[in-house]
Amino acid sequence: MRVLLTNDDGLGSPGLLALARALRPVADVLVVAPEHERSAASHAITLHKPLRAVPAALGDTGLPAWATSGTPADCVLLAVLDLLGRPPDVVVSGINVGANLGMDLIYSGTVSGAVEATLSGIAAIAVSVASFTDIQWGPAAAFSAHLAQEVHRHGLPKDTFLNVNVPNLPAKEIRGVEITRQSARRYVNRLEKRADPRGRDYYWLTGSAEAGSADPGTDAAAVAEGRISVTPLRLDMTYEELRTSLRSWDLRWPLR
């Protein structure tokens, strides 16, 4: 099994290193990651300036690795279209510092690394740990390595991928795995407005997760209850019920 790793926290992230070390015994590991952090880059790709990819060291692993000037989606494109020679069997994006739950998926560079692989027809997983501090990489790394093998064995349907969130707990305290759906979790109090030393206003995007969005069966609920969340996702965002009800609207062309 050949596994491509990418992330949005940059090649120097300990999450990427932990993932590489866990996968190395079970796969040929190749790494293409942004040279700098690109968290919340979503699915941006670089069209208007050159992209660079330079060979780089991933810790002391000696694994083939490239640092790129691009986003996670750029990294997967560069890997698949040139750097790897032939496509990998599985792409794992992460392990991200911080959860990717609910509406985080809209902004997440980690998830978009998996999405770009999915668009290229490669089975993909996005993996995140639900903390920004004192992160325990072990359980997420071990579970990712196991899941990558399962994904390789079973395959995934076209245009689908898996989003994994691991509670930041010691292995013994994690209460199993739950197959979940995406929650409606989103952010509140998102903007701070301040004055700079010259008296001009500036803004800082921020925010905290909205309370009460962890309905049972969702990604957010599973992680809150100490379980590893595995959410199957698809690229097709069509909402079928709304498609039906829109037919009763007055939508026509030519307009009258």
Interface ranges with Mn ion (CB under 5 A): 8-9, 39, 96
Choice between 9 and 116, CB closer to Mn ion: 9
Choice between 14 and 155, CB closer to Mn ion: 14
Answer whether the bond into residue 254 is a cis peptide, omega within 30°. Answer: yes
Q: Please state whether beta strands 53-55 and 90-97 pair in parallel, antiparallel, or not at all (unpaired).
A: unpaired
The answer on whether 219 is annotated among ligand-binding residues is: no
The answer on whether 96 is annotated among ligand-binding residues is: yes
Choice between 8 and 35, CB closer to Mn ion: 8
Report how far residue 38's alpha carbon sits from residue 184's, in angstroms, rounded to the nearest whole number.
Answer: 24
Q: How far is the CB of 157 from Mn ion (least distance, A)?
A: 27
DSSP 3-state assignment of 11? coil
Are 123 and 147 spatial neighbours (Cβ–Cβ below 8 Å)? Answer: no
Q: How far is the CB of 105 from Mn ion (least distance, A)?
A: 13
Query: Nearest residue to Mn ion, using CB?
Result: 39
Q: How far is the CB of 112 from Mn ion (least distance, A)?
A: 11
Q: Please state whether beta strands 160-166 and 228-234 pair in parallel, antiparallel, or not at all (unpaired).
A: antiparallel
Q: How far is the CB of 50 from Mn ion (least distance, A)?
A: 24
The answer on whether 9 is annotated among ligand-binding residues is: yes
Choice between 39 and 180, CB closer to Mn ion: 39
Binding residues for a divalent metal cation: 8-9, 39, 96
